[in-house]
Structure 1
């Protein structure tokens, strides 16, 4: 069957919330003369930094990200003054950025700084376009290095070298949610483990939680796809298979220097056994595997299911705000299941959607890499981050409680206030700003955002590793087979006694070949020497 697909809008919650209050912050050093002579990716020495204290010209290219560049922007002029630079910024429309950048990359003539999609830099590094900045971060960008988690730097290394600066993304996106009012009506507590979860689902299905005298509810349902709804159950067995049925399946984990493909693992089989038990107990919506996303949302809004897992915004925004669920079902209340469902081995967790949203690369031909790194370092300080996100204090915003002045709101609405806000990330400050919001809608959203961020997150070991040709060739057939057999095992159309036969067929359909190619690519890019447990 054709797997349901998600179209996810990128939401910047920080931009909609309050500004960070001014506080004592680190001051970036004024870019000045330096004796450093960083090496390019090819090993050649970059030109020495000029000795003048005049503003340093820096060129930057980035997707517009819904922003507009204005040369008379007082905010960017203040950034230039503080960092002692003169910026020359080129912004292309998001949907046209990659094609235009490819042309520049092919010519070898790129700006000093390139803002790229998460792992897009991997396509260009071997062309010698970017500078290896590994040895120079401590000296010229200490704030930048300190304010980004070590794992982000490690994730974005290429063949053991650091060619890019990562931009952090919140990796936890999805939340298992439950009808809190149903728990109250049935005198049940929030489930904390799989046994309690099973009992709650049975009560939601058979004990008339909505008190309408009809057998018209199910414990477990969906709002988009069954893969999401099953996620915390797989997480309770210590794995995160991701989107079952995706065209290029490889989700795997690393243990004892070997990579294990999840779809044929013992943990995956154990999770399926539990899911089959729920199916046999008739606590799952029987349309679970076939219902379309819009129909599933309507069913949830009409109060027919008591649990699902989906993007953090589904319950507070789509169901409650957009579909007016509380008008349809007065008293309906969704709560995150937190801290999660624990499995027989004491594990609990959710899928990580990856914490690298973008990267910055410095051209190997940049004339003053020292000044570039110092500029980016300033942008990472409290003062620099606040300025590039919210503008001039007293002009564009005031305090956390009242973030934007009328002038600031007008500038934000006209999309020219913060064109540089997507250059350097500070997830800690973003979280602080979001949590400080007094807006009732944002406060409700934060319950789900914060829950999504606090689960244990399982990250695919191949996160950031590009597709291999074998993965492209064999992936669709393997994915189709994985999904087909998952459904058959759960619904009983195939007995789990055929598990070994499933594993053998999975390998023959190309699963083993594509995994071998991924492990080879992993070792190459990570400068590692891991094996394949298959």
Structure 2
């Protein structure tokens, strides 16, 4: 029998073990790490760090992090919080004014804390204590993350295409169907996945659409087929906005959004969407996928090849399971298709203004940006966890990766050029499988929020959470039929009254000031 129950959880699995170093020693162009002032032979400096767990586990006896501590001359005190709880718990910590030495935050989340005096202005320190960071991160990333002309954070470079819509290719083969190319074919596929017993077990126990991360993500390619990308129900901004004919309009109240809602509601009415979609917890959702109950989802590129196949051993549970990206995409009525752009900023590291040793913090981060530091934080100890970065992990390395403790510090400092180098030269069959998803994620048409990088406004802080909550509530009600789409105009009016209009106007004002524009609201 098909059942109901679940709850949305944002569980973002970050990019896992893809980049590397050219050798175990730092390259000749890198600046070696000198000890912090007055510490030539002193005890290591203790540094604290808070970050989302990114699907990883922290172990105090981890030999990899022990080696990093030894090389960087520090002792780490790390607090890893579940992704879905991180923002609320960090907000409470920030309100107390007491934060760790280092905070790993989402892309532009730092903007709401800078003016509270929580973070250290890094401008006077970077040249002296972090030359590798300056060298290895692109100038445009540093410029993008400046706040009122000062540098309060260290950017983490992101590949803007991160998500991939994937299907059970083995189910398509069993049903003698081709990969869908448009919304009509997509609907027919979902109906067959739900009603035609694609796993041939004689039971009515499969669904076309499920979620392997968040339900909002699984619908993204559908919105893309209508030429829009509504974002992820962010709690501080309206869903993505777009610029057209010198006017900026929020996606969440656009006619394209309404049309996409109508299409998704038809899928719901056809009972091809997992009825637990809007309530299931993320770990339960991914387990359902791993058990072979879901035929399609859209999520972070690594979910299919890494989380499902490597970590959850899906092919041991469902031997014939074969996940394949939908490419070049699902076209809509006007021939459009696309995915959400995550922009080129994947996160930041902020340093507490109260840290006792900013030099030691920056020296640690500078070490993490060396080839040696990168290799350690992503692949572990050479000879123990891997032999060569182009080959498969050792048995011990694979076991550590499967147990999720190998690379808990891999999301601290980025080296995107090494990611690309390893991807292009790898002989590891696991990496080659990863590449199928990585490459497709980068090739979709990407829709980027016109306000990407624009700082928070006071109206955002005041109205953003209520507006986002209302958007999400009404999305679910429209899709499930608890509210008819005939109430669309009422929804738009309420969205504006709840602060959406004031929020949009404030963002446009800031946009015009910072980008020398003269755009106006499109509502």
* TM-score scaled by length of structure 1: 0.69
CA positional deviation for 1:426: 1.0
- Name the residue aligned to 2:177: 188
- Secondary structure of 1:232's aligned partner: helix
CA 1:188/1:104 → structure 2, altered by over 3 Å: closer, same or farther? closer
Q: Which runs of 5+ in 2 are unaligned?
A: none
- Name the residue aligned to 2:29: 27
CA 1:25/1:379 → structure 2, altered by over 3 Å: closer, same or farther? same
2:469 counterpart (462, 471, 476): 476
- Secondary structure of 1:27's aligned partner: coil
Aligned mates of 2:321, 2:405 — CA distance in 1: 40
- 2:252 matched to 1:250? no
- 2:8 matched to 1:5? yes
- Answer with 1 or 2: which has the greater Rg: 1
Aligned mates of 1:409, 1:209 — CA distance in 2: 32
RMSD (Å), alpha carbons: 5.4
CA positional deviation for 1:528: 7.4
- Secondary structure of 2:499's aligned partner: helix
CA 1:304/1:483 → structure 2, altered by over 3 Å: closer, same or farther? closer
Aligned mates of 1:3, 1:518 — CA distance in 2: 34
Tell whether the 8 Å contact from 2:46 to 2:75 is kept in structure 1 after alignment. Answer: yes
CA 1:144/1:175 → structure 2, altered by over 3 Å: closer, same or farther? same
| Deviation per residue, 1:94-148 (Å, 9 max, x gap) | 4599599859967xxx99x744423336413463953363x99789867534533
- 2:50 matched to 1:63? yes
- Name the residue aligned to 1:35: none
Tell whether the 8 Å contact from 1:30 to 1:374 is kept in structure 2 after alignment. Answer: no
- Name the residue aligned to 1:505: 494
| Deviation per residue, 1:182-211 (Å, 9 max, x gap) | 322343322233343244345545666456
1:120 counterpart (86, 110, 125): 110
- Name the residue aligned to 1:382: 371
Tell whether the 8 Å contact from 1:174 to 1:310 is kept in structure 2 after alignment. Answer: yes
CA 1:278/1:367 → structure 2, altered by over 3 Å: closer, same or farther? closer
Tell whether the 8 Å contact from 2:463 to 2:498 is kept in structure 1 after alignment. Answer: no
Aligned mates of 1:169, 1:55 — CA distance in 2: 37
- Name the residue aligned to 1:427: 416
1:485 counterpart (470, 478, 482): 478
- Secondary structure of 1:513's aligned partner: helix
- Secondary structure of 1:341's aligned partner: coil
| Superposition map of 1:406-445 within 5 A | 423-430=412-419, 432-433=421-422, 444=433
CA 1:62/1:264 → structure 2, altered by over 3 Å: closer, same or farther? same
CA positional deviation for 1:358: 2.6
Aligned mates of 1:126, 1:523 — CA distance in 2: 25
Aligned mates of 1:494, 1:123 — CA distance in 2: 40
CA 1:413/1:351 → structure 2, altered by over 3 Å: closer, same or farther? closer
2:120 counterpart (130, 141, 148): 130
CA positional deviation for 1:340: 2.4
CA positional deviation for 1:291: 6.4
| Superposition map of 1:20-169 within 5 A | 21=23, 25-29=27-31, 61-63=48-50, 66=58, 68=60, 76=69, 78-79=71-72, 91-94=77-80, 114-118=102-106, 119-120=109-110, 122-125=112-115, 127=117, 130-131=120-121, 133=123, 144-145=133-134, 147-149=136-138, 152-169=141-158
- Name the residue aligned to 1:197: 186
- Name the residue aligned to 1:494: 484
| Superposition map of 1:253-272 within 5 A | 253-255=241-243, 258-272=247-261
- Name the residue aligned to 2:17: 14
- Name the residue aligned to 1:37: none
Q: Which runs of 5+ in 1 are unaligned?
A: 33-48, 80-86
- Secondary structure of 2:146's aligned partner: coil
Aligned mates of 1:301, 1:410 — CA distance in 2: 19
Aligned mates of 1:181, 1:99 — CA distance in 2: 45
- Secondary structure of 1:8's aligned partner: coil
- Name the residue aligned to 1:306: 295
Tell whether the 8 Å contact from 2:21 to 2:418 is kept in structure 1 after alignment. Answer: no
CA positional deviation for 1:264: 0.4
Tell whether the 8 Å contact from 2:264 to 2:479 is kept in structure 1 after alignment. Answer: no
CA 1:188/1:532 → structure 2, altered by over 3 Å: closer, same or farther? same
| Superposition map of 1:198-217 within 5 A | 198-204=187-193, 209-210=198-199
| Deviation per residue, 1:506-534 (Å, 9 max, x gap) | 32343323434555566788897764332
Tell whether the 8 Å contact from 1:75 to 1:392 is kept in structure 2 after alignment. Answer: no
- Name the residue aligned to 1:177: 166
Aligned mates of 1:420, 1:206 — CA distance in 2: 44
CA positional deviation for 1:166: 0.8
Tell whether the 8 Å contact from 2:191 to 2:272 is kept in structure 1 after alignment. Answer: no
